[in-house]
Amino acid sequence: MDLLKNTFLFRVYREFKLLFVMLIVFMVGTLWFALKSREEFPFLLFGMYSLKEEAQEEYIAYSIVVDGNEIIYKSMSDAQRELASTTLINTLAINNPLSNTGFTNWLKRYKAGNKPLEIYKLTCLYLPDGKPLIMKRELIYPHDQF
């Protein structure tokens, strides 16, 4: 019993019962939402990452080709993959992305090592077995425009 008396929750219960009740409600709520595949911290970020994504007929993906070889995203670390793909998608959201020479220069130095670089927009479908099927491959950035 002495082991329980030295725990944080027991000390909070003994000295400040309202805080103890709030902690128990928070822990039960967090556990309940985690079991329901929702946020682990539901009261501040509810639904931010846990909302279901509706199925689409077509998906858009981007392919970066450096010196004739396609960059395989799986071979990159999470930080590199997120940095390259997020920056690419945000730049393409601009009306005239070729005018953003800062991005193109950065991408050439960061991933291409100043080798020829091409970026393709891929329109994909997923087959019933889960494999992607590229329906359309559109060249967005030809290497001679860098």
Q: Tens digit of pLDDT for each residue in 86-109?
A: 877 777 776 655 555 666 666 666
- The pLDDT, as a whole number, for residue 146 is 43
Where is pLDDT greater, at 58 or 100? 58
Q: Which residues touch 55 (CB under 8 Å, ≥6 apart)?
A: none
Helix (H, G, I), strand (E, B) or coil at 70: strand
Rounded Cα distance, 35 and 23, in Å: 18
Check pLDDT > 50 for residue 115: yes
Check pLDDT > 50 for residue 73: yes
For the chain, percent of residues with pLDDT exceeding 70 = 72
